[in-house]
Structure 1
């Protein structure tokens, strides 16, 4: 009985952390909407990652107690850390920021959200998670919901280079998640996030001159939005993601991110006055159904 209660408590904690991640990642779309006119993709990526790395570094310094005994990665951990930091924190951010300058939000959402399907596929092939029937069905249903949302918000025009960038972002995201998952069994979530975030920031350092120039001309409100992006969707959001990922499968966590477009629609309605189309609302309902199915046991 104690084991069952403890398992339920861990599942509830992981679900809460995943919910925090979904809300914060969705809010990033609202924040990027405010910053995209004054910051280029590379400069914005570098700023977010530098802020997040600094915050997580201070947290780890002030709270040295770790979830596991070892405080520094072993040699075998570094290839996965480098892949996660380079692809998910570096390439993903750069590709997505650049793609959203070439594609409308609906088309970008549809293309980027092939990532959870890729996560489930790669996790089944490389992490031994297999292909649970409910996860596969739920993921396909949720992706159908994303297609409906995209159809409701798309202009119907897609630039080839923008499509390539979105697919690059999706593939980088999927590989980053799959390389991160094994690390979380050996290292604390906050430490993995900090190291990967720092690696991503190093990747984006060539954009430092652009960031300095754009900071000089940016408005105060825009700079605060950049700080928000680094502190909450990046530092906190990726840490709660890693915390939840450590306690569940990569495939199920990937399916949970199908909720991000729904929450982004709600936040856009509340803060930007963007009234969602009826088809987008229907797509959101389909996404919710798919995520619910994907998180069920057989």
Structure 2
């Protein structure tokens, strides 16, 4: 049951995060990447921290705080910067497809570190999920901008960072609790992001937001900042790193669907095929391992 709850949390995180990408796309032309990340995680930590204080979980131990802080900077500062940098060179579709290699990368890293045994079934599930994302994004992959390989390589590096995060963070999440672990990591990252936003004068752009943009920012913070990352930590605590990583493949599919609904972006049979393939892959990955 814990495994199924973990996968459900991972899928929920990916779906919520995918819909939040629509809001991020809407806001991106109006501000800079650092300010957008500061808004997202600033709102997120303001929601999570009070709930964490009320929830019956352990705070990260004093001896764990340096590692928890480092993981927070990796997850909430470094990876968003890598993602934003990659999108300078490559398209959103290509970046999402590259991120869909996360299950395969996590599987390889987990096997090398002895954190999780390699199984052919999980490998097949990862390949099916990757193929489903490729099908869903097929239309957007036709246009290849000059220098796209630089963004693709940067995004691959970001996916590798996430693979290590999934593995390294698990024992610290289990020692404390998903909500308090996430709150501390996000709380460490937000001052860094606020300082970066201040240095690029990002707050001036926020002051110019109209009501629609303000509500979009609230949505990105509440759902893309608080809910999605809390659920991701819950997933890591309850199931294996590879199964958690499998859920990320639905992120791009959810983003495509939300973009079609909210922004009028094109939708076709490729998206339906992608959703079906990812569903099959997740179902295959969640089958219990034989002992």
Q: Same fold (TM over 0.5)?
A: yes
User: Which residue in 2 is equivalent to 1:178?
Assistant: 167
Matches within 5 A, 1:189-228: 189-204=178-193, 205-209=195-199, 210-228=201-219
Could you say which residue in structure 2 is the equivalent of 1:294?
A: 285
Q: 1:259 to 1:212 in 2, by over 3 A?
A: same
* 1:78-97 matches, cutoff 5 A: 78-97=65-84
The answer as to 2:14 corresponding to 1:22 is yes
CA displacement at 1:151 relative to structure 2: 2.8
- Is the CA contact (8 Å cut-off) linking 1:153 and 1:280 kept in structure 2? no
Q: Equivalents in 1 of 2:7, 2:138: separation in Å?
A: 29
Conservation of the 8 A alpha-carbon contact between 2:132 and 2:274: yes
Output one character per residue of 1:158-198: Cα deviation in whole Å (capped at 9) or x when no partner. 53442343223222222222221111220111011111112
Task: Tell me how large the CA RMSD over aligned residues is.
Answer: 2.1
2:27 aligned residue (20, 35, 60): 35
- SS of residue paired to 1:276: coil
Shift, 1:275, TM fit? 2.7
Distance 1:247 1:188, change over 3 A: same
Please give the residue correspondences for 1:78-157 in structure 2 after superposition, counting only pairs within 5 Å: 78-126=65-113, 128-154=115-141, 155-157=143-145
Q: Does 2:62 correspond to 1:74? A: yes
Query: By how many angstroms is 1:47 displaced?
Result: 1.6
1:166 matched to 2:155: yes
Distance 1:167 1:15 in 2: 23
User: SS of the residue aligned with 1:86?
Assistant: helix
* Count of residue correspondences: 285
Q: Tell me if 1:44 matches 2:36.
A: yes
1:273/1:112 Cα in 2 relative to 1: closer, same or farther (>3 Å)?
Answer: same
Residues 91-100 or 202-211, more deviating:
202-211
**Deviation digits for residues 185-214 of structure 1 (CA, Å, limit 9, x no counterpart):** 201110111111122223322222433121
**1:242 aligns to 2:233 (yes or no):** yes
Length-normalised TM-score, structure 2? 0.89
Please report the TM-score for the alignment, with normalisation by the length of structure 1: 0.87
Q: Which of structure 1's runs of 4+ aligned residues deviate more than 6 A?
A: none
Distance 1:189 1:11 in 2: 15
Cα 1:268–1:286 change in 2 (3 A) is: same
Q: Which runs of 5+ in 2 are unaligned?
A: none
The answer to whether the 8 Å contact 2:60/2:68 transfers is no
Deviation at 1:92, TM superposition (A): 0.9
- Mapped to 2, the partners of 1:175 and 1:15 lie a distance apart of 19
